[in-house]
Amino acid sequence: MGLLTIIKKQKLKDKEIRCLILGLDNSGKSTIVNKLLPENEKDDEISPTVGFQIHTLEYNTDSQRYQIALWDVGGQTTLRPFWDNYFDRTDVLIWCIDASLPLRFSESFKELKCFLLRDEGRIGYDCQVIIAMNKMDLLQDARALDEIKTTITKQLGSMIPIVFVGCSGLTGEGLSELLSTIVSKREHMYMM
């Protein structure tokens, strides 16, 4: 086995996955990111993201080692026109929805649809879309998750494949599923 083969194998085993995390303000994007980080990198207090933050975490499967770059972009109305600027080379789009706040569902769905339509040519095969239905710990009725899935599926139709993950950035519930979903599409691409 030559040196180039060894280098290639190592490079393939240590893959970076770029995740763009978008959603309305106060949907819990930064809370999810903070919960995923190693203990020594967590913030004690989380405040609304102004602009963006980038965090990297390592995720290992049986056969691969991944560096997951989490691009956490603010969701305030004034920042939304700039979301497209962060999309370049994105592997996974995570759209965060506050599942405990039905009053903002329609606004969130509208923003998601607008974003997907603007970037339609770039989303789909190369870019996986995950809807993180956050704040499950605050739900009185789990039917809200079904409502989110049904509404998004109706509005977007078969425009692009979407994976739905229920989670709580506060308790950590569902975050291991979120991570495995992030790497699942990439896993078979890098198998040797």
Q: pLDDT digits over 74-114, tens only?
A: 999 999 999 999 988 899 999 999 999 989 988 999 999 88
pLDDT at 73 over 70: yes
Please state the rounded mean pLDDT for residues 36-40: 89
CATH superfamily, with its number, for domain 15-191: P-loop containing nucleotide triphosphate hydrolases (3.40.50.300)
Between CA 38 and CA 48, with CA 42 as vertex, the angle to 5 degrees is 135
Please report the pLDDT score of residue 2 as a whole number. Answer: 56
The 3-class SS string of the chain reads: CCHHHHHHHHHHHEEEEEEEEEECCCCCHHHHHHHHCCHHHCCCCCCCCCCEEEEEEEEECCCCEEEEEEEEECCCCCCHHHHHHHCCCCCEEEEEEECCCHHHHHHHHHHHHHHHHHCHHHCCCCCEEEEEEECHHHCCCCHHHHHHHHHHHHHHCCCCCEEEEECCCCCCCCHHHHHHHHHHHHHHHCCC
136 annotated to a ligand binding site: yes
29 annotated to a ligand binding site: yes
Please report the pLDDT score of residue 11 as a whole number. Answer: 47
61, two tokens: 């499967």
Please report the pLDDT score of residue 175 as a whole number. Answer: 97
pLDDT band at 140 (very low <50, low <70, confident <90, very high): confident
Highest mean pLDDT among 113-117, 138-142, 177-181: 177-181
| β-bridge pairing 65-73 and 52-60 | antiparallel
Least confident of 35-44, 115-124, 166-175: 115-124
85 annotated to a ligand binding site: no
Catalytic residues: 76
Sequence spans of domains, the chain: 15-191
pLDDT band at 42 (very low <50, low <70, confident <90, very high): confident
pTM attached to this predicted model: 0.87
134 annotated to a ligand binding site: yes
92, two tokens: 């996974």
